[in-house]
Structure 1
Amino acid sequence: MSAPTSSSFAEAFKGWPPPVLDPAGPFSNSVTTLAWVLMAGAVAIFLLVCVAMWVALYGSDALRAKLGGERVVKWFGLVIPAGVLLLLLVWGLTLVRGLTTIQGDELRMRVSGNLYWWRVSYLDAAGRELHADANELHIPVGRPVVVDMVSEDVIHSFWVPKLGGKMDMIPGRTNRLKLQADKPGSYGGQCAEFCGGAHSLMGFVVVAHEAADWQRWMDARLKPAPAGLSVEALRGRQLFNEVGCAACHRVAGTDAQGIAGPDLTHVGSRLSLGAGILPNTRATLIGWIADSQSIKPNNRMPAYRSLKADELNALASYMESLK
């Protein structure tokens, strides 16, 4: 797989923030249909209220008497609203029930919300983790995906407008939501529940592949970190352990097994850094390692301002090699 570039990042995150009423899958289509009906109903009610106000202000005495009569109050104040709300409730629940209904043959994933990034796990049918990642979800086209959503700190909200509905991630609770993409492409997502100072910088991307391409992608991700490294990358790997990166980050096949931060086993192939806010390039890697706090304030990664330029380059070279 080729290295990510600024153009691939721009393609993945074009049109940011994600378009809300542009569905690209069956589950988001249900949510969009419900949204349009509710907006149309709101417009109809607004127009009805405007007509009632006009009659109250400028209508004839006979019309105003009818408007304030017992029959109008009974039907338009109680019977019709109650009936409309009941119909909307039944129809709405029927329309979106597929968002959480589990059939058993879906691809399974788990996404954990953290301040301010996303821990991503690919699961087998029994719920065991097959592959760990961060801030990106890769899914096959045309296949429903069940996402188990949990939070490791505060309330977050998982939302990919073009592929599905919105669901809160609550500490101590597992919520489930289904996604599906009808065609290949990159779809932006965002935390939709205020979770702290860097909430607006907590994005992610869902990449939809054709089924065969997705299987090749998954097979490649199940391999350990590459063994053959350049001299600069070897120096970076040494620094990775010396400065304490391994205490927070995991790189499969190495002694780095930290879980406090994102899994970095394949960080070199990701589209973005910092949960969707930077393209994944050598320059942005160096900037993020040196002083992530100036890029995303209050994130949990400390700044490494004491590292020299050649050391930062070596660490970035090692990160780039992890594909």
Structure 2
Amino acid sequence: MIPGTRSRAIVILGAGIATLLSGCSGSQSALNPAGSAADLIARLWWPTLVVASLVTMLVLALLLVAIFRAHKKGAALPLSARQSRNLVIACGIILPLAATIPFALSSFSIGREIDAPLPDGALTVEVVGKLWWWEVHYLDETGGRIATTANEIHIPVNEPVRFLLKSDNVIHSFWVPNLQGKTDMMPGRTNVTSVTANQPGIYRGQCAEYCGTQHALMAFLLVAEEPEAFEAWLEGQRQPAMEPATAQEMLGREVFLNEDCADCHAIRGTSAEGQDGPDLTHIASRRTLAAATTPNRIGHLGGWITDPQHIKPGNQMPSTELSPANLQALLSYLGSLE
């Protein structure tokens, strides 16, 4: 081997392993569980990985032995029919069953635990998959909607939450890797899953079923917080939009109501009742825009209003042409809707 080649190979191999391992943590990783269901899934995944890796290495080792023996002079004669039969039975039936049956039983047990009935009175959240964003409704015990938001879900920590998952267009899939496995959202039916966050944090969720042009940018944030903070947030989301506090905010509301904005968006407490786009009653309280595509800051909001196709090509929001004065007024008004 050329001097230095081995060292470079080791460095490259180490960098590759480090890169792979870097994907095993973070705000969107099933291998960094922060919820009870995700923890169960991770505890099944790691042993599966170990056993699968050992089986792969064993198969490769046997393959190499076979290759070298085939090219070796004076190699032993092929196995007899009886030896071949016994080898097939041992390595093709007994060993695979011994390896897979424990994992199948564990998977079945974990599935039952994840799908266990929730306690009476558990918080219920309805999520509807749109193109390409998420409509979120908080329901009372009778199924009535008490608050509506979009692309950002808040739940209390250490409390199981029931999710009713729907779609009014194509198949989507609801997935918060750190907290729960995937659940499909099918047009015409309601699928049910539950999420329990064991520690406070902000976790990124993602549509896990290809659904069209902007599937990759159909994400959301799930905020797990202490019950007191959650109740305060939910109480705020119940309220109608705040009244404008300045002349510029009043002008901004008029711009919103008189331009095309109100045709697609709703702001509770005003005459805007559009249903095609996200409810903007408390848009200023959200951390991101366009389904977790950009931060919710005034510059990004202005760019999203005037040229949404540049930020998220193919989305269903049209560009809005406004004079600079009207755009600034509209941004001031939307920025006041906390």
The alignment's TM-score, normalised by the length of structure 2, stands at: 0.85
> What is the CA–CA distance in structure 1 between the aligned matches of 2:170 and 2:314, rounded to whole Å?
14
* Residue in 2 that maps onto 1:73: 88
* Residue in 2 that maps onto 1:30: 40
SS at match of 1:131: strand
Counting only pairs closer than 5 Å after superposition, residues 33-52 of structure 1 correspond to structure 2 as 33-52=43-62
* Residue in 1 that maps onto 2:265: 249
2:303 matched to 1:293?
Answer: no
The answer to whether the Cα contact below 8 Å between 2:44 and 2:106 also exists between their aligned partners in 1 is no
Change (3 A) 1:311 1:31: same
Counting only pairs closer than 5 Å after superposition, residues 1-323 of structure 1 correspond to structure 2 as 18-59=28-69, 61=76, 69-105=84-120, 106-304=122-320, 306-323=321-338
Percent identity at matched positions? Answer: 39
Structure 1 residue 142 displacement after superposition? 0.5
> What is the CA–CA distance in structure 2 between the aligned matches of 1:91 and 1:180, rounded to whole Å?
21
SS at match of 2:331: helix
- Structure 1 residues without counterparts, runs of 5 or longer: 1-14
> What is the CA–CA distance in structure 1 between the aligned matches of 2:137 and 2:91, rounded to whole Å?
51
- Asked which structure has the greater CA Rg, the reply is 2
The answer to whether the Cα contact below 8 Å between 1:141 and 1:184 also exists between their aligned partners in 2 is yes
Structure 1 residue 64 displacement after superposition? 5.7
How many residues align structurally?
A: 308
Q: Which amino acid aligns with 2:90?
A: W
Structure 1 residue 212 displacement after superposition? 0.9
> What is the CA–CA distance in structure 2 between the aligned matches of 1:202 and 1:159, rounded to whole Å?
11
The answer to whether the Cα contact below 8 Å between 1:158 and 1:190 also exists between their aligned partners in 2 is yes
Structure 1 residue 197 displacement after superposition? 1.6
The answer to whether the Cα contact below 8 Å between 1:55 and 1:63 also exists between their aligned partners in 2 is no
The answer to whether the Cα contact below 8 Å between 1:31 and 1:96 also exists between their aligned partners in 2 is no
Greater Cα offset, 134-143 or 187-196: 187-196
Structure 1 residue 225 displacement after superposition? 0.9
**Superposed CA RMSD:** 2.0
Q: Which amino acid aligns with 1:237?
A: R
Q: Which amino acid aligns with 1:279?
A: P
Change (3 A) 1:215 1:313: same
The answer to whether the Cα contact below 8 Å between 1:16 and 1:188 also exists between their aligned partners in 2 is no
Greater Cα offset, 17-26 or 200-209: 17-26
SS at match of 1:98: helix
> What is the CA–CA distance in structure 2 between the aligned matches of 1:66 and 1:310, rounded to whole Å?
88
SS at match of 1:250: coil
> What is the CA–CA distance in structure 2 between the aligned matches of 1:243 and 1:227, rounded to whole Å?
19
The answer to whether the Cα contact below 8 Å between 1:23 and 1:32 also exists between their aligned partners in 2 is yes
Q: Which amino acid aligns with 1:238?
A: E
Structure 1 residue 131 displacement after superposition? 0.6
- Structure 2 residues without counterparts, runs of 5 or longer: 1-24, 70-74
SS at match of 2:326: helix
* Higher RCO by CA contacts (8 Å cutoff, separation 6 or greater): 1
Deviations 1:199-239 (A, max 9, x none): 11111101111111111111111111112431111111111
Change (3 A) 1:227 1:95: same
> What is the CA–CA distance in structure 2 between the aligned matches of 1:281 and 1:192, rounded to whole Å?
27
> What is the CA–CA distance in structure 1 between the aligned matches of 2:82 and 2:27, rounded to whole Å?
45
* Residue in 2 that maps onto 1:10: none
The answer to whether the Cα contact below 8 Å between 2:244 and 2:250 also exists between their aligned partners in 1 is no
Deviations 1:104-161 (A, max 9, x none): 3322111111111000111122322111100000010100111111112111111111
Greater Cα offset, 281-290 or 90-99: 90-99
Structure 1 residue 162 displacement after superposition? 0.8
Q: Which amino acid aligns with 2:239?
A: K
The alignment's TM-score, normalised by the length of structure 1, stands at: 0.89
